[in-house]
Amino acid sequence: MNLNKTVTRAGLLKPEEYNLEAMYKAMRELDEFRAAVNLAVHSEWDDKLDELRAIIYRHCSGPRAAKAKTLEKWVSLAVDENDVREVLQYVYSDGERIVGTNGHCMHIWKTTKYDPGYYKPGAKLEKVHDVDWKEYYNVDRLIDGYRGEGECAKDLVRVAGDKNGSACRPYDVYMYDEGQAAVNADYLEAVLQRFPSGEFTYKDKLSSIKFEEGDLLALVMPVRV
């Protein structure tokens, strides 16, 4: 399938000629994001817009995180090394736990294996800064006294589409609280690598959802939908 030819013929194609898998394959091979957007906003494709937007989102966000083989790597999945906030570019240790966060999700492993300080994310952590390099977030303030309703992630409904009718603002989320709240699908799936039961708690639709089992803890902030 030649995606360029498909775009050229977009005004002539009929919905029944549309092949979703072929389009996705072509997008991966040709890296034609703009072509997919052109198709997504074309008036004749109204019944396929949600599917196209979901494809655009997955294509632009890159491949999902591979399963973390170590707890260090799992904590690192929550870190964004390109974050403008320097402290969030590293895994942090206070001597009793290591923490990774991008401000939207947080992974914690309670361990005394690492001295206090900042570590380069990865399957094996390498210390790059002492603990007094910068002040880290108050982690306890975010997780202490956490009580609320409970649900199981295995029961959540995944939704991919668009919030306001624009192909430029797609989302890919899991809904909870009877469809009143949602969390980013990639963040939730990264958490579930170490919480197979899927059990979590939350205060309300505006609060983070919390996973806790043994020495592991994770928070995921809700998103607007």
Pick the CATH number of 66-225 from 2.70.70.10, 3.30.470.30, 3.40.50.12280, 3.10.150.10: 3.10.150.10
Mean pLDDT of 190-210: 89
Mean pLDDT of 46-66: 55
Using pLDDT thresholds of 50, 70 and 90, give the confidence band for residue 21.
low
Residue 12: what pLDDT?
34
Using pLDDT thresholds of 50, 70 and 90, give the confidence band for residue 191.
very high
Q: Where are the beta strands (DSSP E) in the chain?
A: 91-93, 98-101, 105-109, 117-120, 126-130, 149-152, 157-162, 170-176, 181-184, 199-202, 209-213, 216-220, 222-223
Residue 172: what pLDDT?
76
Average model confidence (pLDDT) across the chain? 76
Cα–Cα distances (Å) from 22 to 12, 97, 225, in that order, read: 18, 46, 29
Residue 60 to residue 207: CA distance in whole angstroms:
28
pLDDT tens-place string over residues 87-122: 999 999 999 999 999 989 999 999 999 999 999 999
Mean pLDDT of 147-170: 60
What region does 62 belong to: left with phi over 0, alpha with psi -120 to 50, or beta? left
- For residue 30, pLDDT over 50 is answered with no
Tokens of 213: 């089992």
SS3 223: strand
Cα–Cα distances (Å) from 3 to 30, 42, 49, 136, 197, in that order, read: 8, 15, 17, 47, 42
pTM, 2 dp: 0.70
**Chain-centroid distance, C-alpha 222:** 11
Residue 216: what pLDDT?
97
Residue 9: what pLDDT?
40
Contact 127, 117 (CB under 8 A): yes
Residue 19: what pLDDT?
58
Q: Considering only residues 51 and 154, tell me which one the structure prediction assigns the higher pLDDT.
A: 154
Residue 133 to residue 153: CA distance in whole angstroms:
37
Residue 76 to residue 207: CA distance in whole angstroms:
23
Q: What angle do CA 51, 54, 55 make, to 5 degrees?
A: 90
Dihedrals phi, psi of 71, to nearest 5 degrees: -65, -30
Residue 160 to residue 127: CA distance in whole angstroms:
38
Residue 65: what pLDDT?
63
Q: Considering only residues 185 and 194, tell me which one the structure prediction assigns the higher pLDDT.
A: 194
Using pLDDT thresholds of 50, 70 and 90, give the confidence band for residue 54.
low
**Chain-centroid distance, C-alpha 218:** 13
User: Please, which residues have CB within 8 angstroms of residue 47's CB and are 6 or more apart in sequence?
Assistant: 15
Residue 225 is classified by DSSP as: -
- CATH 3.10.150.10-classified regions of the chain: 66-225
- For residue 130, pLDDT over 60 is answered with yes
Q: Considering only residues 21 and 98, tell me which one the structure prediction assigns the higher pLDDT.
A: 98
